[in-house]
Amino acid sequence: MKLSIDISELIQLGKKMLPEGVDFFLDETPIIFDPIDIELSAGKEISISDLDPGSSLISYQGRQVLLYIRDHTNSYDAAIEDGKKGKRFHIAWCKTLDSMRQKNRFERYHATNRVDGLFEIDDGLGRSQDATLRVCMNCLERLNYKGSIDKQQKKSIFNSFSLDEFFLNYSTCFRHIPKGIHDKSNSGYVKNWKEISKSTRDNANYICSDCGVNLISSKKLCDVHHKNGVKYDNSAENLIVLCKDCHRKQPMHAWIFIAQSDMEIIQRLRSQQGLLKTESWKDVYDITDPSIHGDIHIMQNKGYPQPIIGLVLNNSKGEAITTVAAAWPSIKIAINLTAVEVEGWQVFTVGELVKEIQSGVNF
């Protein structure tokens, strides 16, 4: 017997539950968090040798994580009262961790992917509680995060450091979205937001109003932004269409997570549409992934010229090997989100160019 089933209400419900700008399809696979994601949100004791190798950032099983010391036996009460008096947490392989690694001497670290700035610590005697620990300043300098190599700016950057913003700036370096960020991105919209969003994007022909990229071929990467930040204000003058990259760079939009594959699509479309040309350093930062801004900034700080964005590198036979995120052809130096080898070029991954220059290398 043939059954006739109306699933229109299910589809409408699916549209309402998804994040801004995303289309719903019945066969679309929902985000399912593995047990390790749940463990990391609570804090998991790990061995340093279990961390993923080959990155300036700290990663565990493909998840961007923070390292912190749970044991606050000698400073528990002080840290609970004032997080500044607790032990610092790490976001990168800074000189503190590198020194420990070289000496093979590590304290008992826990890894976490929480984005709320809270870390569960204990006093070694059975008491435990969340504390607002502070970031390691050496880590900020190691990544040149927001220009932290500038000694005068580093303290200000340290005091205003936001974990969810940090995770989002480096989201393209990791394969998994932190659970806390995913939860934030799915709230606050009116019931018919999906219809409003689609209509707004249709009217704009899926063209980003900031960078100008046409996303008609990749509609899921096209968002609608509330200019005043109020999600229930859906007046026409308050809504603009942005690509997901430009959207996440808006103030107070650190909850927008963009995968590396999605960023590569946006950059490829920008390149095909002639939108990667730059006239100023501001242009360079506007159209590049935030995860490489620290590397770009240190080159700017050292007096190097503006890089070429989205440059295709060829081998000795003239065959195209890869397209890199940013490159300085005159010195054969490039930055890329993933490791690649091209004859005659030094291609650095995120944070590695910062480390090279900090060690005293000049190109």
Distance from C-alpha of 229 to C-alpha of 139, rounded to nearest angstrom: 31
* Cα gap 248→295, rounded to integer Å: 20
Cα–Cα distance measured from residue 301 to residue 64, given in angstroms and rounded to the nearest whole number: 28
Residue 252 CB neighbour total at 10 angstroms: 7
- pLDDT of 251 reads 81
Length of the chain in residues, anyone?
363
Which pLDDT does position 13 carry in this prediction? 47
pTM of full prediction above 0.85: no
**Low-confidence stretches of the chain (pLDDT beneath 50):** 1-8, 10-11, 13-29
Would you state the pLDDT for residue 135?
Answer: 96
Q: What is the pLDDT of residue 37?
A: 82
**Strands of the sheet with 333-335, listed across from one edge:** 308-314, 320-328, 333-335, 346-348
Per-residue model confidence as pLDDT tens digits over 305-339: 999 999 999 888 888 888 999 999 999 999 999 88
pLDDT at 5: 46
Residue 253: other Cβ atoms inside 10 A: 19
Q: How far apart are CA 282 and CA 335, in angstroms?
A: 18
pLDDT for the residue 73: 93
Phi/psi at 282 (nearest 5 deg)?
A: -60, -40
Instruction: Spell out the SS3 assignment of the chain.
Output: CCCCCCCHHHHHHHHHHCCCCCCCCCCCCCCCCCHHHHHHHHCEECCHHHCCCCCCECEECCEECEEEECECCCCHHHHHHCHHHCCCEECECCHHHHHHHHHCCCCCEEEECCCCCCEEEECCCCCEEEECCCECHHHHHHHCCCCCCCHHHHHHHHHCCCHHHHHHHCHHHCCCCCHHHHHHCCCCCCCCHHHHHHHHHHHCCCECCCCCCECCCCHHHEEEEECCCCCCCCCHHHEEEEEHHHHHCCCCCCCCCCCHHHHHHHHHHHHHCCCCCCCCHHHHHHCCCHHHHHHHHHHHHCCCCCCEEEEEEECCCCCEEEEEEEEEHHHCEEECCCCCCCCCCEEECCCHHHHHHHCCCCC
Which residues make Cβ contacts (< 8 Å) with residue 241, sequence separation at least 6? 200, 201, 204, 206, 207, 208, 209, 222, 223, 224, 225
